[in-house]
């Protein structure tokens, strides 16, 4: 999963020969999971067709303020288009368009959208060598950067004129990488490592049967995605689950038992900045595990259980600078029990959810939680999707750690 996943990207195309690369740029943004819309200057349609870009982006292409549809004109709202975008990438950006952007000239749909946009704007210059080196072009660069726009440097190579030099638009792959790295560099958890546990554990009775619980792992997976979206490198230690995630920033370590999870968590704890233990770990396991399937012979059958290792408490005992978060699923005296765990296990934050709340707990996509901090702040939340709970949790961690 790219950091561009689910981003709304507006691609602006101007009238340069490098516009032929824009089709591949659209494809790469789509491949990264982004939503793409294209706005073109009227002259750019001489270099690449709106049909090609519309087909690749799966969205209409905009180039005029009004689309003529027989007797009815359809208004293209440049303000809405600018507000829709999370990112605006203008590639290629010709000398002509950059000069207009730098001086507030607004004579086409692309420029009007540029002046309306509230999102980060990237521009990738493309022109011949002498044009690129001209003082007026350098002035345009300076003005655009001073306005907060981000320059994607042009490359050096063979140009359309036959000259060899600077002015060649960055390749589509380079543009995507530049945008991704720029976003990542601004994320609050960039360079941080986050350890997360998810799902249930299965404690073997024999080779066929086990003791487990109803945890789906969804809450932990959502926390992993929320942490990754903030730039963190995530280590996700998960018990058996059907949940899936694909991200360049999340490393999944599958485990089965509480002992497996204990071992993996302790392997990584000293290298992380934040640990969120949301897994539903078994408190007990069979003391003796049969090596063969136990046959059904007796009318009653007794299994002797022993305690599993308390993973959360063991981390609280050895933590140094890590921010440690635990979960408490309670059915009675919820606040009292959660506060007791917070203190006894040396946590920085505990997330309380109660099976008494409709829509919370195992096997559902929603959760209703209360955050309790080590300074005894109690923050109650409404019923929300687990994705939103995960985002709220990560934002609270950011505040608590000043990350």
For the chain, what are the domain ranges? 8-186, 193-401
Q: How many CB atoms lie within 10 A of CB 236?
A: 27
pLDDT of residue 146: 97
Catalytic site residue from 8, 77, 96, 213: 213
Residue 128 has a pLDDT of 84
The answer to whether residue 53 scores a pLDDT higher than 90 is yes
Catalytic residue flag (residue 213): yes
Q: Do domains 8-186 and 193-401 have the same CATH topology?
A: yes
Half-sphere exposure in the Cβ direction for 93 (13 Å, CA): 29
Mean pLDDT of 190-195: 96
**What average pLDDT does the segment 269-284 reach?**
97
**Exposure string (b/e) for 274-297, b if CB count within 10 Å is 16 or more?**
bbbbbbbbbeebbeeeeeeeeeee
SS3 210: strand
Of 253, 215, 256, 221, which Cα lies nearest the Cα of 237?
253
Q: Which CATH superfamily is domain 193-401 in?
A: CoaB-like (3.40.50.10300)
> Once rounded to an integer, what is the mean pLDDT over residues 241-246?
92
Is residue 333 predicted with pLDDT exceeding 90? no
pLDDT tens sequence across 91-111? 999 999 999 999 999 999 999
Q: How high is the pLDDT of residue 296?
A: 86
- Could you tell me which residues come within 8 angstroms of residue 102 by beta carbon, excluding any fewer than 6 positions away? 139, 140, 143, 144, 147
pLDDT at 71: 57
For 8-186, CATH number out of 3.90.550.10, 3.40.50.1950, 3.10.100.10, 3.40.50.10800 equals 3.40.50.1950
User: At residue 69, does pLDDT exceed 70?
Assistant: no
Structure tokens at 376: 């005894």
d(CA 367, CA 376): 22
Collect all residues with Cβ–Cβ distance below 8 Å to 6 and sequence separation of at least 6.
33, 34, 35
**Residue 337 scores a pLDDT above 80:** yes
Q: For residue 132, give Cα distances in angstroms to 109, 128, 167, 189.
A: 25, 6, 6, 37
> What 3-state class would DSSP assign to 98?
helix
* pLDDT (mean) for 319-336: 89
What average pLDDT score do residues 51-79 get? 82
- Separation between Cα atoms, residue 255 and residue 397, nearest integer Å: 26
Decide if pLDDT at 318 tops 90: yes
């Amino acid at each position: 999963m790219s950091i561009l996943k689910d981003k709304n990207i507006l691609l602006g195309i101007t009238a340069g020969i490098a516009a032929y690369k824009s089709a591949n740029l659209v494809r790469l943004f789509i491949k990264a999971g982004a939503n793409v819309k294209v706005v073109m200057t009227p002259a750019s349609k001489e270099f690449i067709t709106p049909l090609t870009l519309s087909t690749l982006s799966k969205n209409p292409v905009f180039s005029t303020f009004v689309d003529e549809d027989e007797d009815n004109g359809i208004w293209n709202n440049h303000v809405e288009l600018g507000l829709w975008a999370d990112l605006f990438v203008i590639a290629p950006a010709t000398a002509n368009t950059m000069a207009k952007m730098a001086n507030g000239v607004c004579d086409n749909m692309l420029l009007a959208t540029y002046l309306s946009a509230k999102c980060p704007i990237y521009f990738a210059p493309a022109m011949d060598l002498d044009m690129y080196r001209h003082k007026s072009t350098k002035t345009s660069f300076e003005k655009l950067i001073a306005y907060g726009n981000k320059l994607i440097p042009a490359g050096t190579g063979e140009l359309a004129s036959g000259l060899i030099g600077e002015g060649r638009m960055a390749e589509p792959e380079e543009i995507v990488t530049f945008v991704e790295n720029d976003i990542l560099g601004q994320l609050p958890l960039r360079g941080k490592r986050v350890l997360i546990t998810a799902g249930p554990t299965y404690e073997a009775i024999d080779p066929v049967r086990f003791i487990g619980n109803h945890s789906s792992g969804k809450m932990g997976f959502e926390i992993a995605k929320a942490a990754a979206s903030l730039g963190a490198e995530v280590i996700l230690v998960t018990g058996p689950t059907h949940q899936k995630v694909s991200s360049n920033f999340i490393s999944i370590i599958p485990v089965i038992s509480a002992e497996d999870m204990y071992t993996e968590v302790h392997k990584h704890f000293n290298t992380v900045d934040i640990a969120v233990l949301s897994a539903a770990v078994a408190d007990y396991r069979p003391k003796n595990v049969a090596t063969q399937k136990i046959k059904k012979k007796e009318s009653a059958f007794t299994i002797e259980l022993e305690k599993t290792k308390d993973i959360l408490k063991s981390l609280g005992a050895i933590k140094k600078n890590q921010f440690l978060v635990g979960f408490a699923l309670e059915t009675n005296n919820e606040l009292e029990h959660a506060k007791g765990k917070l203190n006894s296990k040396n946590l920085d934050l505990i997330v309380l959810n109660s099976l008494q709340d409709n829509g919370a707990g195992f096997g559902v996509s929603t959760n209703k939680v209360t955050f309790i901090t080590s300074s005894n702040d109690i923050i109650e939340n409404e019923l929300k999707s687990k994705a939103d709970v995960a985002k709220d949790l990560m934002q609270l961690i950011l505040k608590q750690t000043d990350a």
